[in-house]
Each structure stands twice: as structure tokens, then as C-alpha cells.
């Protein structure tokens, strides 16, 4: 290791780590493809299960293949009773911390935990995706003093999640909205949480550990936690007329507007395009257009930042949608997780295909060769 001149890329900005066949992102054009298919086509025409199949098997499924995925997912959502007991024990924690703890505990009950074969990884990825929804919904109910609702035997991932939250089959439009939300969050190349999951997988650890790593990394407000911060901001703003002043004061004091900016997108994040229109329509349907209008005014106030490539990201309108679905803010990042587990899984699959342990360097800039001082002589 050298202490001399090195090419240092803080935050690994613009560093390519490997090749991928999963997601393509053109940050200048605001374009996102999963396995070659445009996110706009997938969000308009597919279900989340079709996208899971596309990501994990590399091709859009036939009807038979899709039915197999649907049936595998639907019959693997149950969570062992001891894991629900752990949820009960830690119910006062943030739902993301509860989810991280419970997914970690799931590994103790998964007979295939150490199996890193391709099929075992795909099956575990689908299993944990469904079980994570069961955990988030169970915690939502337990902390309200309600009994958890067992997973539905036939509903898809999105409808089943809403069913387990509220104990009744959801409105089909709202279930579809959640389905699209999961599709938009499913995969996004080497973002911070997927990179973290890859680092864990690169040591030949197991998928549960990689997913737990992903959950811990996604939680932060600079990553998946931004949707929660956006909705808190909208609540603080209170009404559309206050948005411009709020943004000005925030930026003048050196703050950042959450839900804006992206390491890769320097144009509109195509996922935000979908969520913006859906948030507007849902607000009108629910008789609460104000949240959309507040966010629209924040977006207007941020227009000068477009010149610097700072646009709304996927998290900006997602929070308003969840809020309108009566979901509390601290569930926003767990919901992101329920969409993202297939993405982490496929990143792990790719990592293990040509594995090399991920181990970058840090340039040492501290003191050298100091004389050692015994404890009793230190002042």
C-alpha cells in the first residue's frame, strides 16, 4: 500500500466494479431497463411476479412459468412462529430494525440457508420476499395490539401485503398501485444496498446474510429512507402555499431536499415519472389532493437545481402514495425492501457467478512509526 499519490474516488463515484446483465441505467437520458426491457413497459404491462421471474431467470416468463412463480411465492410466505415471537419482543423498534432482526432469524429455520446453488438462491430470494411482507404486516398489527393476519393463499405479493396489513382484500386499483410500486423498486444495479449485499456474498456467505446487509444499508435517509423524510417534510410544510418558502429556508441553511438528487440520474428518474402521476390520481380519488400539490410546489421550487442535474428521484412521490394508502411513515422503507429483495438476490447470483472477494483499498494518511509509550507513562 502506498502513502504517495493514488487515484482516489471517494464514495467509489464513477468506478465500475463488474459487468452486469440485469439493469441498464442511462443517467443522462433518465432511462432504466431490467434485462433489456424498459421500466415504463414493465410498469404498465407486468405484475411484480413477472418482474421477479424476469430478474431471477433472465427472461419474461411464459404463462406456465408465471403461474409457477405465483404459486411458489404464494405458498412460501408463512413465517415460523418463533420469528413472530421475536417480532413481538422487539415491537417497539423502527419497522426496518424489526425486519432486519426477523430476516436474520429466518435463516435459522431455512433448511437451504447454506445452499448457494442457482436454484436454491432463486427460491430463497422468492421465499424471503414473501416472508418479509408477512413480517412487516405482522409487526404493523402487533404494535397496534391486533392479531397478525395469515398470508392469503392466492393473492399476489402486492394484494397480499395490503390484505395482511388491514385484514381485508384490497381495492384492485390500490393493489395494482402497490404492484407497480414494487416493480419500480425491484432492481437498480450497484446502488448502495445492492453493493453492500454483493460485498457480503463475495465472501461466500449466505443469501440471508446478504439480504440483512442490504436491509441495514437501505435504511439510511440518503438511500431508501428518503421517502419517509419526504413525507415528514410534506407534513411540516402543511399546505401548498408554504412549499416555496420552506424549500428556500432549507436550502439557505445548507439542508438537502429529500427525494431529490441521485448519484446516477442527472435527468428525471423514470421511476419518479410513474409515481408522480399515480400520486396525483390517488390523491384525487381519496379526496386529499393537497399532498400531491405540496410536492408539486416543492418540485417547482427546486426547478433551478435542474441545471445541476438535481431532479426528483423514486422516493419523492412514493411517500405521498403510501400516506394516502393510510400507511405510517416508518413503513415506507420496509415497503421499498419488499420490492428490492429480488434485486439483491439477482445481484448476489451475478456476484457468485464469477466471484472475486470485494476488497478495495484505503489510502493511509495517519502518522507513521510512532515510538510506543507504555500505559503507565501516558499522560
Residues marked active site are found at 262, 315
By CB under 6 A, tell whether 261 contacts ligand ACO. yes
- DSSP for 72-83, please give it: HHHTT----HHH
Measured in degrees and rounded to the nearest 5, phi and psi for residue 219 equal: -60, -30
Bridge partners of 25?
Answer: 32
Minimum gap (Å) between residue 275 Cβ and ligand ACO: 12
By CB under 6 A, tell whether 262 contacts ligand ACO. yes
By CB under 6 A, tell whether 266 contacts ligand ACO. no
Closer residue to ligand ACO (CB): 224 or 240? 224
Of positions 96, 158, 226, 349, contacts ligand ACO by CB under 6 A: 226
Closer residue to ligand ACO (CB): 50 or 299? 299
Closer residue to ligand ACO (CB): 20 or 355? 20
Query: Which window, 20-28, 219-227, 239-247, 341-349, contacts ligand ACO (CB under 6 A)?
Result: 219-227
Bridge partners of 33?
Answer: 24, 38
Cell numbers representing residue 220 in the block:
439510511
Instruction: Tell me which residues in 288-327 interact with ligand ACO (CB under 6 A).
Output: 308, 310, 313-315
* CA dist., res. 242 & res. 239, Å (int): 6
* CA dist., res. 110 & res. 82, Å (int): 13
Residue at shortest CB range from ligand ACO: 261
**CB-CB contact of 327 with 174 (8 Å):** no
Minimum gap (Å) between residue 199 Cβ and ligand ACO: 17
Query: Which window, 15-23, 145-153, 252-260, 324-332, contacts ligand ACO (CB under 6 A)?
Result: 252-260
- Cα separations in angstroms, 178 against 240, 258, 322: 26, 22, 9
Binding-site size, ligand ACO (CB under 6 A): 18
Cell numbers representing residue 138 in the block:
405482522
Query: Which window, 31-39, 84-92, 258-266, 273-281, contacts ligand ACO (CB under 6 A)?
Result: 258-266
Of residues 182, 169, 171, the one with CA closest to residue 130: 182
Closer residue to ligand ACO (CB): 110 or 187? 187
Of positions 31, 94, 143, 256, contacts ligand ACO by CB under 6 A: 256
Which stretches does DSSP call E strand in the chain?
23-26, 31-34, 37-38
Closer residue to ligand ACO (CB): 77 or 262? 262
* CA dist., res. 36 & res. 110, Å (int): 33
* CA dist., res. 126 & res. 59, Å (int): 16
Q: What is the DSSP letter of 25?
A: E
Minimum gap (Å) between residue 183 Cβ and ligand ACO: 14
Of positions 22, 43, 155, 257, contacts ligand ACO by CB under 6 A: 257
Minimum gap (Å) between residue 251 Cβ and ligand ACO: 6
Q: Which helix (H) or strand (E) holds 322?
A: helix 315-324
- Length, in residues, of the chain: 379
Q: Is 266 exposed, middle or buried (CB count within 10 Å of its CB: 0-12, 13-18, 19+)?
A: middle
Minimum gap (Å) between residue 104 Cβ and ligand ACO: 23
By CB under 6 A, tell whether 258 contacts ligand ACO. yes
Closer residue to ligand ACO (CB): 181 or 315? 315
Measured in degrees and rounded to the nearest 5, phi and psi for residue 38 equal: -65, 135
Binding site for ligand ACO (CB under 6 A): 11, 222-224, 226, 256-263, 308, 310, 313-315
Amino acid at each position: 500500500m502506498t502513502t504517495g499519490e493514488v487515484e482516489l474516488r471517494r464514495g467509489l463515484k464513477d468506478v465500475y466494479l463488474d459487468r452486469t446483465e440485469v439493469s441498464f441505467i442511462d443517467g443522462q437520458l433518465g432511462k432504466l431497463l431490467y434485462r433489456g426491457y424498459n421500466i415504463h413497459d414493465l410498469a404498465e404491462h407486468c405484475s411484480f411476479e413477472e418482474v421477479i421471474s424476469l430478474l431471477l431467470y433472465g427472461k419474461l416468463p411464459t404463462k406456465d412459468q408465471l403461474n409457477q412463480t405465483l404459486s411458489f411465492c404464494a405458498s412460501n410466505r408463512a413465517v415460523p412462529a418463533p420469528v413472530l415471537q421475536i417480532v413481538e419482543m422487539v415491537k417497539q423498534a423502527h419497522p426496518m430494525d424489526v425486519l432486519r432482526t426477523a430476516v436474520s432469524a429466518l435463516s435459522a429455520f431455512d433448511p437451504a440457508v447454506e445452499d448457494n446453488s442457482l436454484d436454491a438462491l432463486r427460491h430463497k430470494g422468492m421465499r424471503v420476499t414473501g416472508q418479509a411482507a408477512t413480517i412487516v404486516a405482522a409487526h404493523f398489527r402487533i404494535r397496534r395490539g391486533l392479531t397478525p393476519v395469515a398470508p392469503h393463499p392466492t393473492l399476489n405479493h402486492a394484494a397480499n401485503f395490503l390484505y395482511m396489513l388491514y385484514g381485508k382484500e384490497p381495492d384492485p386499483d390500490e393493489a395494482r398501485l402497490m404492484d407497480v410500486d414494487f416493480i419500480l423498486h425491484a432492481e437498480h444495479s450497484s446502488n448502495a444496498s445492492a453493493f453492500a449485499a454483493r460485498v457480503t456474498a463475495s465472501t461466500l456467505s449466505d443469501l440471508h446474510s446478504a439480504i440483512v446487509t442490504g436491509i441495514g444499508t437501505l435504511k439510511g435517509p440518503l438511500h431508501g429512507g428518503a421517502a419517509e423524510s419526504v413525507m415528514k417534510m410534506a407534513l411540516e410544510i402543511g399546505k401548498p402555499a408554504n412549499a416555496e418558502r420552506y424549500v428556500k429556508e432549507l436550502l439557505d441553511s445548507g439542508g438537502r431536499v429529500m427525494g431529490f438528487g441521485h448519484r446516477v440520474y442527472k435527468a428525471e428518474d423514470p421511476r419518479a415519472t410513474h409515481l408522480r402521476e399515480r400520486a396525483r390520481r390517488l390523491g384525487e380519488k381519496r379526496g386529499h389532493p393537497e399532498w400531491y400539490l405540496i410536492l408539486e410546489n416543492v418540485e417547482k421550487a427546486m426547478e433551478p437545481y435542474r441545471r445541476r442535474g438535481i431532479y426528483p428521484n423514486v422516493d419523492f412521490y412514493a411517500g405521498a402514495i403510501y400516506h394516502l394508502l393510510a400507511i405510517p411513515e416508518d413503513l415506507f422503507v420496509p415497503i421499498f425492501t419488499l420490492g428490492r429483495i429480488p434485486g439483491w438476490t439477482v445481484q448476489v447470483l451475478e456476484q457468485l457467478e464469477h466471484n472475486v472477494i470485494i476488497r478495495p483499498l484505503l489510502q493511509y494518511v495517519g502518522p507513521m512509526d510512532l515510538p510506543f509509550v507504555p500505559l503507565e507513562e501516558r499522560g
